[in-house]
Structure 1
Amino acid sequence: MSLSVVIPTLNGRDRLAAALDALAAHAPDAEVVVVNGPSTDGTTGMVRDRDDVDVLVEVSTRTENVARNAGLSVATGDVVAMLRHDLVVESSWLDGLTDGLTDAPVVTGPTHRTLEGGMTTEESEHRRVGSRHVTHFNGGNVAFRDTVLDALDGFDEYLETGGDRDVAHRLAGLDYEVAWRPEMCVRREYSADGGDASADYGTEFRALTYRLVKNYGLRPAAATGPSRRALRDAVSAAGDVVRGDLNPTEWLGIGRSVVSGIARGAADGLIARVKDRSAARNPHGVSDRSDRAVARYDWR
């Protein structure tokens, strides 16, 4: 097995350095592809000063799926792993990955997070959508055989969020199994800094509706997810209004964002379904364009 590891990154120099250190320690023979950009924190210089990165690709877009596809375009391994820049592989990661590929052409594992009260982890997530048995995976810790990535044509660059969820549905449509290995674990080295907790409801519901309509058409399977999610969020936001944490005008604004997101996602999903009638269901994949990279440094 020849392994490539693709790491998209954006303004995460220190966390990326920790991820690269762990890969060098626990998967020293892997080809490492970093897709950067557009970062402004010195990431490029840090990567170019290292001798354990094989390819650095600079991109001009902040969309994660574009970065992922840019990395897939240059990776040469017959197995390609996707790793988030803020996650570090643990010592058993490579063994878990290798073992999982004996059972399925896609393998994933949990993320360990250290909290004050101890450590949390994750379990495998499955659900049935229509006639498909969908296995969701962590898009920051997953490995594919290259034949699977070719069949998928990579990630759908229309999606600003939920690209891994879309791939999970398409894997199920192509009858590919996803193996779960607790040993293929990664760890979050840095605690969250809080960030901006506000949600972009329009973008989230557009992505959710798009990927369901694209994969299932205008069927109950496509309508159930957005409807349940919209109802749950509406009830939650109404509770915030009652408690005084959200004013009614903001609540109505959220509702408009949800409705417009669903409408646009459904329309764009239907267009995508018509544009790519193949089982891949990916009109915005790796083969769709060749101009993602603005610079490339190859030390192989």
Structure 2
Amino acid sequence: MDLSVVVPTLNGRDRLAACLDALDAHAPDAEVIVVNGPSTDGTTGMIRDRDDVDVLVEVSTRTANVSRNAGLEVVTGDVVALLRYDLVVEPSWLAGLEGGLPEAPVVTGPTHRTLDGGMTTEESERRRVGSREVTYFNGGNVAFRRSVLDALDGFDEYLETGGDRDAAHRLAALDYAVAWRPEMCVRQEYSADGGVTTGDRGVEFRSLAYRLVKNYGVQPAAATGTIRRALRDALDAGRDVVRGDLAPTEWFGTGRAVVTGVARGVADGLAARVEDRTPTRNPHGVSDRSDRAVARYDWR
């Protein structure tokens, strides 16, 4: 197995250094590609001073899927892993990856998160959407056979969030299995507040509606998931208003952003579905453009 590891990063120099140290210790023969950008914390200099990074790709767009695809353009391995910059692989990671590949062409594993009260971990997630059984994967800790990534044409760059969820739906459409290997584990150290940030709800629901409509069309499988999620969030926010933890104006503003996001996501999802009618369902993938990188340093 020739393994390539793509590590997208943005303004995380110290955490990236720890990630690379762990890769060098536990997967020393892997080809390592760091996709940076646009960072302003000295990441480029830190990478250029190391001897365990094979390629550094600088990009100007702050989205995970663009960074992922920029890395996929330069990998040479027949197996490609995606690793988030703030995660460190554990000693069993490589053995778990290798052990999962005979079972399925996509392998993922859990993230161990250290909190004040102890440690949490993830479990495999699977859901039926319409007639498909979709197995989701950990977008910051996953490995693919190169042929699978070619069939997917990488990740959909329309999506600002949820690119790994979208890819899971497309894997199911292409009849690719996903293996869950607990040994393929990574670790993330959290600060006291848990390190959780709140995202843009409009963007989140636009991405959700887009990927469901793009993959399933306008049918109950797509509508039910979006509506259920919107109603659950609205009820949770309503309880916050009653308790006085959230202003009514903020609740209405968020609701407006959700409705607008869903409407735009549905329209754009329909357009994408028409543009790519194949099971790949990726009109904004790796093959769509060749100008992602603004600079590239190749030390192979």
- Normalising by the smaller structure, the TM-score range is over 0.9
SS in 2 for 1:119: strand
Measured in 2, the distance between the counterparts of 1:40 and 1:249 equals 36
Partner of 1:170: 170
1:252: how far off?
1.1
SS in 2 for 1:142: strand
Maintained 8 Å contact 2:58/2:293: yes
| Percent identity between the two aligned chains | 81
Alignment of 1:35-54 (within 5 A): 35-54=35-54
CA gap of 1:196–1:127, structure 2 versus 1, over 3 A, is closer
1:195: how far off?
6.4
Partner of 2:253: 253
Partner of 1:202: 202
SS in 2 for 1:274: helix
Partner of 2:21: 21
Matched residue type, 2:83: L
Matched, 1:221 2:187: no
Maintained 8 Å contact 1:55/1:296: yes
Partner of 1:34: 34
SS in 2 for 1:112: strand
1:190: how far off?
4.5
Alignment of 1:234-249 (within 5 A): 234-249=234-249
Which ranges in structure 1 are unaligned for 5 or more consecutive residues? Answer: none
SS in 1 for 2:39: coil
1:194: how far off?
6.2
SS in 1 for 2:95: helix
Which ranges in structure 2 are unaligned for 5 or more consecutive residues? Answer: none
Matched residue type, 2:13: R
CA gap of 1:6–1:12, structure 2 versus 1, over 3 A, is same
Measured in 1, the distance between the counterparts of 2:199 and 2:84 equals 21
Deviations 1:98-130 (A, max 9, x none): 000010000000001112332211110000000
Measured in 2, the distance between the counterparts of 1:196 and 1:137 equals 20
Q: Which moved more, 1:273-282 or 1:248-257?
A: 248-257
Measured in 2, the distance between the counterparts of 1:252 and 1:14 equals 40
Alignment of 1:73-84 (within 5 A): 73-84=73-84
Matched residue type, 2:276: D
Measured in 1, the distance between the counterparts of 2:143 and 2:274 equals 29
1:192: how far off?
6.5
Matched, 1:142 2:103: no
Matched residue type, 1:265: G
Maintained 8 Å contact 1:86/1:190: no
Maintained 8 Å contact 1:105/1:176: yes
Measured in 1, the distance between the counterparts of 2:279 and 2:35 equals 28
1:250: how far off?
1.3
Matched residue type, 1:113: R
Matched residue type, 1:131: S
Measured in 1, the distance between the counterparts of 2:194 and 2:179 equals 32
1:245: how far off?
1.2
Alignment of 1:1-300 (within 5 A): 1-191=1-191, 197-300=197-300
Maintained 8 Å contact 2:103/2:179: yes
Maintained 8 Å contact 1:88/1:189: no
Deviations 1:141-166 (A, max 9, x none): 00000000000000000000000000
1:189: how far off?
3.2
- TM-score, normalised to structure 2, is 0.98
Deviations 1:233-276 (A, max 9, x none): 11011111111111211111111111101100000000000000
1:291: how far off?
0.1
What CA RMSD, in Å, does the superposition of the two structures yield over aligned residues?
1.1
Measured in 2, the distance between the counterparts of 1:28 and 1:17 equals 15
1:44: how far off?
0.1
Measured in 2, the distance between the counterparts of 1:297 and 1:268 equals 35
Maintained 8 Å contact 2:115/2:192: no
Maintained 8 Å contact 1:203/1:261: yes
Measured in 2, the distance between the counterparts of 1:232 and 1:168 equals 23
1:210: how far off?
0.1
Matched residue type, 2:9: T
1:200: how far off?
1.0
Deviations 1:161-209 (A, max 9, x none): 0000000000000000000000000000343766684431100000000
